[in-house]
Amino acid sequence: MRIDYDEVQKVITALCDGETDEVALMATVVCELHHADDRFDWTGFYRVTEPELMKIGPYQGGHGCLVIPFARGVCGAAARTGEVQLVDDVEEFAGHIACSTSTRSEVVLPVYTGAGKLLGVLDIDSDQPNAFTQADADGLTVVLDTVFGVLH
């Protein structure tokens, strides 16, 4: 099954209406996204907890890395640059952090509040190579902006 971003956005928006707690929002977003697409093997947030450092937040799937510095890995690159990372083959990404040996590709998006504060990143891993496209990045960006863009 492939995700219908318009439908998922409607569901997530309804579920998150009026909620301002970042962790509650992350948990809801992760649950809905993870179960909406068979490609999503691991879906989770890494939260900025101190300068240049993220710790694992709500997630679905197997164990994730507990701590990721901005200087390392795909998640670190998204946090450091503020740009979406689309990685077709994690083996070809210099400095990739192998939290799971089954991960073949991933998409990572920075998550900002409406005031421009970096909350962390959304990391979605797949056990399939070349699993994600720009359409995924675009659809996920809309979901994240809708949910977290109202926070200050």
**pLDDT tens by residue, 30-81:** 999 999 999 999 999 999 999 999 999 999 999 889 999 999 999 999 999 9
Residue 14 DSSP label: H
Cβ neighbours, 10 Å, residue 60: 18
Say if pTM beats, i.e. exceeds, 0.75.
yes
Hey, what domains does the chain have and what are their CATH numbers?
5-148 (3.30.450.40)
Averaged pLDDT of the chain: 94
CA–CA distance, 118 with 103 (Å, rounded to integer): 25
C-alpha to C-alpha distance for 58 and 122, rounded to whole angstroms: 10
Which residue type occupies 1? M
Do the Cβ atoms of 86 and 109 come closer than 8 Å? no
